[in-house]
């Protein structure tokens, strides 16, 4: 089996992923499923950024549009007006921060990188904006390629797979081929837990996550407080931290190198315990 890379070149800043790392989530949205509306002022944003960085987040993922089930696309200017001032604010106070922009729009991606972001996280894998692949290739920054069946508006309307692992692998092979042909070097794949998947689909993905290592890309696992966890536990997103940690341990065992999380301290501790076992 091919060995995935262990470094990411983030516009000149090298990230070492020999040990898995944490990406902290910062949603600048009024309607995200867990933290929507929490970070709508500069002081609350900076407090949360300081908290996540002090707890050990290596990357901050900034999103200006909700991707919860049923969410609608907002216009580009609204998204830009949410995201760009926050990137500027963060880098003014924490200039060494590696920022990822969570967007499906090539213009938002390009403007964010120009503002100082160093990575693009696209839940649509280029399917919403035809210019996304050529844009990120020209930007020469790491790109997170996520699988989603449908769109945020439609993805949970009876998603169906004959063989979810095979179908997502084929999806990634096609998309990775397109991006490599454009010259993009640093690619991260995200199987898209909760995006166009029934509860049992998500658990199957988690069980066989290591199958995607054949693609020779870093694997990101976005499991934090997802509905398949809290519905299985008959609880809520607010009370899904224990379930999240359990799934993160499994993801690490299956080769995940980046955990995308709301709870940085707990994720860092999860990695530390996992690593202690691995080192024995």
Number of helices (H), then strands (E), in the chain: 9, 10
- Is residue 280 in some structural domain? no
- CATH number (domain holding residue 266): 3.20.20.20
Q: Is the pLDDT of residue 198 over 60?
A: yes
| pTM score, whole prediction | 0.93
Question: From the CB of residue 43, how many other CB atoms can be counted at a distance below 10 Å?
Answer: 8
- Given 175, 225, 257, 260, which residue is catalytic? 260
Averaged pLDDT, 119-137? 96
Averaged pLDDT, 152-163? 74
- Is residue 8 in some structural domain? no
- Is residue 213 in some structural domain? yes
pLDDT at 187: 97
226 is catalytic: yes
Express each pLDDT in 231-262 by its tens digit.
999 999 999 999 999 999 999 999 999 999 99
Cβ contact 271:252 at 8 Å: yes
- Is residue 245 in some structural domain? yes
Question: From the CB of residue 82, how many other CB atoms can be counted at a distance below 10 Å?
Answer: 20
- Is residue 265 in some structural domain? yes
Q: Is residue 70 very low, low, confident or very high in pLDDT (cuts 50, 70, 90)?
A: low
**Average pLDDT along the chain:** 92
- Given 118, 197, 225, 226, which residue is catalytic? 226
**Number of structural domains the chain divides into:** 1
- Is residue 200 in some structural domain? yes
pLDDT at 34: 44
Range of the domain at 214: 17-274
For 143, residues 6+ apart whose C-beta sits below 8 A from its C-beta are: 119, 120, 122, 136, 179, 184, 186, 187, 188
Q: Is residue 111 very low, low, confident or very high in pLDDT (cuts 50, 70, 90)?
A: very high
265 is catalytic: no
- Is residue 4 in some structural domain? no
- Is residue 3 in some structural domain? no
Q: Is the pLDDT of residue 33 over 50?
A: no
């Amino acid at each position: 089996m091919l060995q995935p890379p262990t470094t990411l070149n983030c516009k000149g800043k090298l990230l070492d992923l020999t040990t898995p790392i944490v990406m902290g989530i910062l949603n600048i949205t009024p309607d995200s499923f867990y933290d929507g509306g929490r970070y709508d002022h500069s002081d609350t944003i900076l407090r949360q950024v300081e908290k996540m960085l002090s707890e050990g987040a290596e990357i901050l993922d900034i999103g200006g549009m909700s991707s919860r089930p049923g969410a609608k696309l907002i216009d580009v200017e609204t998204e830009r007006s949410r995201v760009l001032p926050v990137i500027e604010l963060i880098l003014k106070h924490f200039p060494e921060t590696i920022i990822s922009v969570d967007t499906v729009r090539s213009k938002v991606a390009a403007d964010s990188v120009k503002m100082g972001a160093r990575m693009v996280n696209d839940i649509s894998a280029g399917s919403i904006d035809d210019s996304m692949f050529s844009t990120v290739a020209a930007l020469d920054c790491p790109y997170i390629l996520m699988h989603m069946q449908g769109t945020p508006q439609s993805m949970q309307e009876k998603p169906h797979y004959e063989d979810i692992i095979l179908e997502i692998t084929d999806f990634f092979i096609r998309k990775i081929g397109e991006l490599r042909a454009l010259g993009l070097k640093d690619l991260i794949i995200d199987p898209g837990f909760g995006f166009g998947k029934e509860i049992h689909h998500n658990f199957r993905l988690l069980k066989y996550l290591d199958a995607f290592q054949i693609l020779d890309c870093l694997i990101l696992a976005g499991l934090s407080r997802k509905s398949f966890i809290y519905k299985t536990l008959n609880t809520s997103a607010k009370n899904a931290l224990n379930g999240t940690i359990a799934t993160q341990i499994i993801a690490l065992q299956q080769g995940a190198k980046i955990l995308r999380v709301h709870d940085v301290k707990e994720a860092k501790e999860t990695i530390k315990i996992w690593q202690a076992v691995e080192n024995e």
